[in-house]
Amino acid sequence: MKRLTVQLIMAVLLTMSGIVLLFCGFWVDPKGEVDNSVLVAFGEISTFAGALFGVDYSYKLRVKE
């Protein structure tokens, strides 16, 4: 059960950080260090990874029931 809890926490954190970075990509003016496209790309990857973790978690939870 501990592994599923860690997986759920990671899914939530990845999804939330990806969403925050996606919005930051629209609001942050690049100062020459991080371009908006980098923030948006990383945000999309994090959101996708979090979604995959969440789907995997829900299937594992259904199998245990």
DSSP-based three-state secondary structure for 9: helix
Predicted TM-score (pTM) of this structure: 0.56
Length of the chain counted residue by residue: 65
pLDDT for the residue 17:
82
pLDDT for the residue 20:
82
Among 16, 24, 7, 23, which residue's Cα sits nearest to residue 46?
16
Check whether 1 has a pLDDT greater than 70: no
Strands (E) located in 1-65: none
Q: In this predicted model, what pLDDT tens digit does every residue of 12-46 receive, in sequence order?
A: 888 788 778 777 767 766 655 666 777 778 778 87
